[in-house]
Amino acid sequence: MVFLSKYIVVTGGVVSSIGKGITAASIGRILRSYGVNVTAIKIDPYLNWDSGTLNPYQHGEVFVTEDGMETDLDLGHYERFLDVNLSGESNITTGKVYSSVINHERKGDYLGSCVQIIPHITNKIKDMVRKIADQSNAEVILVEVGGTVGDIESQPFLEALRQLRNEEGHDNVMFVHVTYVPYLRAAGEFKTKPTQHSTKELRSTGIIPDMIICRSELSIDQPLKNKIAHFCDVEREAVINTPDVGSIYEVPLIINKEKVGEYIINRIKIDAGEQDLTEWEHVVESLKQDAYHVSVGIIGKYVELEDAYMSIRESLKHAAANLGIKVNIEWIQAENDIDEDKLSHLDSILIPGGFGERGINGKLEAVRYSLENNVPLFGICLGMQCMVIEFARLNGFEGAHSTEFYQETPHPVIDLMEEQKKIKNIGGTMRLGSYPCKLKENTMAQEAYQQEEVSERHRHRFELNNDYRDVLKEKGLIISGTSPDDFLVEMIELADHPWFLGCQFHPEFKSRPNSAHPIFVSFLKAALKNHKQKSGN
């Protein structure tokens, strides 16, 4: 049986960062509520091959898929909203497209043709999109085009997607354009001209939008929607407003009230069942619970941009909703001195992953504070490594460090494995993607997971040095999780501490709003207990 996928292409105009990813994910969530099988693709027009080497200040966190691809953070939104695992191929970049085409040219696959943007680059883009459709066997493929319409980088992608609609047929490809409608407080009115110009720019590429989703700070009324429909040549019911809301998880409910799902189903002729958004409504309600407020201090070096730790932030929200509490996150710059004044009021501390020496001393100071004051501490990846380093220093290994930061350390408790040292290509030494972890009985880790073995996503080079493993265990460090062959340390904890747990992997990549990650839930339980003890409740 030949299965024909439908495509919904989401473009953006006026300004960047207006929420195309959340909009696309919300459309996917709504279609899922009709029983439709949905997957997603994020197109990033930059020349980088993947997101792995991008500065978090520019692009936010690097999201890691099950198969070990370093991708744009929007794939994290898709996984959380759609509740599916996406492949790394779902992130298409200009670098990947051009690299593939050049490789084909070098092998002579184009039989001497002059290789050009059209048809070679555009054909490759279509091939990549269709490959994901074939592999996923999804009924609907969401395709988000990064950047804004008019960017020179995105032109080949828009041309390829224009061709896709001609080739797949009008009923099988739909275009959704996300724009910004500013409110001028001095004039006391919204302005639609930016949306009109953005739509005009999109139409100049040969793409006529089927739906316009208008982002705004405040709600816009029907007459304004009618004006946009009139000037942008779309149906009135296809002009949708998404004003700012308290939580990104409310967006599917907001646009569902405007019957986005019904319009899309009719437009691309999907055979859908009865809609049921009950589970998502429960998710949104649970996120609003706030019987108790617990504080978590995140010690990082990119804290000025919360998106650098997006999955951690969302995982904490998921866990808090699971427990019926509210989590208050304090962002603490690791480069500054981390003294008692900054930490004494916190219910818990979290040290996220990262690369490079900057901010290491602050993270080590936070570990020491946790150990000396019995404050729950959660270390992720580099955070776990900092826990090991500081524990070693406090237990007789003066100068203990990671060879990532200090090659001459007398006690390299964190180091590269021997086989990794032979690899010179950056990224080649990384453990990326999903790996199994065997849990030790009667540990916090095993109690949280309630399983003997789990699978978690990794993104790191350095490991706990096995040469120090036994002696650290003698000092009281518990190895609560290892690789199935017992060679690599995956999780550590302490028995004589309220909650001191580190993991080499990134559990935040697998947390979902309807299924909070068990380690984050266990962590916030400890934070809540500490909060009650401090407040006397």
Catalytic residue numbers, as ranges: 381, 506, 508
For residue 113, count other CB atoms closer than 10 A to its CB: 10
Asked if residue 308 lies in contact with residue 59, where contact means CB atoms within 8 angstroms, the answer is no
For residue 11, count other CB atoms closer than 10 A to its CB: 29
Q: How far is CA 198 from the centre of its chain?
A: 28
Spell out the residues 6+ positions from residue 365 whose beta carbon is closer than 8 angstroms to its own. Answer: 337, 338, 339
**Which candidate, 306, 312, 322, 399, places its Cα nearest to that of 352?**
312
Cα within 13 Å of Cα(494), Cβ side: 24
Q: What is the DSSP letter of 507?
A: G
Residue 249, token pair as written in the block = 């998880």
Torsion of CA 253, 37, 517, 455, to 10 degrees: -170
In the beta sheet, which residues pair with residue 241? 214
Terminal Cα distance for the chain, rounded? 63
Burial class (CB in 10 A: 0-12, 13-18, 19+), 386: buried
Residue 44, token pair as written in the block = 């990033």
Output the CA torsion sign for 300, 438, 483, 85.
negative
SS3 106: helix
Instruction: Give the DSSP H/E element, type plus range, for residue 478.
Output: strand 477-482
Length of the chain, in residues:
537
Peptide bond into 119 cis (omega under 30): yes
Spell out the residues 6+ positions from residue 197 whose beta carbon is closer than 8 angstroms to its own. Answer: none
How would you classify the pairing of strands 91-93 and 38-44? parallel
Compute the distance between CA of residue 163 and CA of residue 360 in angstroms, rounded to an integer.
50
- Whose tokens are 């080590």? That residue is 364
Compute the distance between CA of residue 192 and CA of residue 183 in angstroms, rounded to an integer.
9
Torsion of CA 473, 475, 476, 477, to 10 degrees: -50
